[in-house]
Amino acid sequence: MTLLSARSDYIFKLIFADERNLNCLQNFLQAVLNLQHDEFTGLKITDPFLQRESLDDKLGILDVKVETTSGQRIDIEIQLWDMPDMRSRITYYLSNMVTEQLSSGSPYRDLCRAVSIVIVDYPLLKETQNHHAVFQMIEKTEHFPFNDLMEINVLDLTKIPQNQSGDLINWMKFLKAEREEEFEVLAKTNTAIGQAYTVLRELSDDEVTRLRNESYLKAKRDEWSRVAGAREEGLEEGLQKGLEEGLQKGRTEGLQKGIQKGLQKGIQKGRAEGRAEGLQKGEILGITKLILAMAKNNGISAEDISSLTGIPLSQVEEILK
């Protein structure tokens, strides 16, 4: 018999949200959160999902929602594929777990702690290699908590340390396991894991459960493919648009720089030509003055010079001053 994967949130919820398996849930939460034992004496599953005969919404949220003895709210979810804006989504749902506790006029002191446990089968947190990351509201410099109202736990199944053991690591290995031999070994490490393994075998042996799980996973894969396709299409469209805008901007900037550089060169050339032309005219004017002065010194009158050269008399007289 091929065992179903406990990583499917459909199967995960059939195991952990069934009050007949409350011992499995308690042991798992204790391993993750290290809560006091009395927190579990009144443990309550707030949305039990026990009807295996139907799965009306294939893409419905199948989180396991729990309330402890003191009123702490705990939400457990599994994500197999990388979805867009996952961190923002986790923060949003955790915030809702706090705000939905109060009705109009209720005092803030009635708020209870809200904890999100997110199990991922891909590296959501690329900043760390730890298999278990815990986030709270911590002061940035001295690292003391603002309060303990919100906490996020990320369990990364791709970062399980294979050379370590313990209840949390064994539970994570149980979720990651695929072969029957792996489950057999893990079942012997903890009675609660052994119970979960027994339930998993029963679920795997039920044809209806297998069909509905496959239907659910297919819908999830299709949705992930649609999102990934849209993301890829958006990336290509963004690249094309960026290229077009870049080319247009490049042309505009090139034209502006070309005009600016052309003006500078034109001004420089104009200045050079102006200087050359001025020098040439200056030289001609100097030679003319010299010739006219020599003519005058030889007794030629201004009128005769004007008549001989064709230069107006007034200009001759101006030059000879």
For residue range 42-56, what is the model confidence (pLDDT) as tens digits? 899 998 754 444 444
Which residue has better confidence, 241 or 166? 166
DSSP three-state, residue 313: helix
Full DSSP string of 261-303 = HHHHHHHHHHHHHHHHHHHHHHHHHHHHHHHHHHHHHTT--HH
Query: Residue 297's CB: how many other CB atoms inside 10 A?
Result: 8
CA–CA gap between residue 278 and residue 287 (Å, rounded)? 14
- Total Cβ atoms within 10 A of residue 184: 12
Residue 23 — pLDDT band, cuts 50, 70, 90? Answer: very high
Tell me how far apart the alpha carbons of residues 261 and 248 are, in angstroms, rounded to a whole number: 19
Counting Cα atoms < 13 Å in the Cβ hemisphere of 253 gives 6
Whether 63 contacts 89, CB under 8 Å: no
C-alpha to C-alpha distance for 250 and 318, rounded to whole angstroms: 58
CB neighbour list of residue 244: distance below 8 Å, 6 or more residues apart: none
Instruction: Convert the pLDDT of each residue in 205-233 to its tens digit.
Output: 999 999 988 888 787 777 767 766 665 66
What mean pLDDT do residues 58-86 have? Answer: 86
User: In the predicted model, what is the mean pLDDT of residues 91-97?
Assistant: 95
Single out the residue of 72, 85, 61 nearest to residue 150, CA to CA: 72
Please give the average per-residue pLDDT across 149-166, as a whole number: 95
What's this model's pTM, rounded to 2 decimal places? 0.68
Query: Mean pLDDT for the chain?
Result: 83
Helices and strands (H and E) in the chain: how many: 9, 6
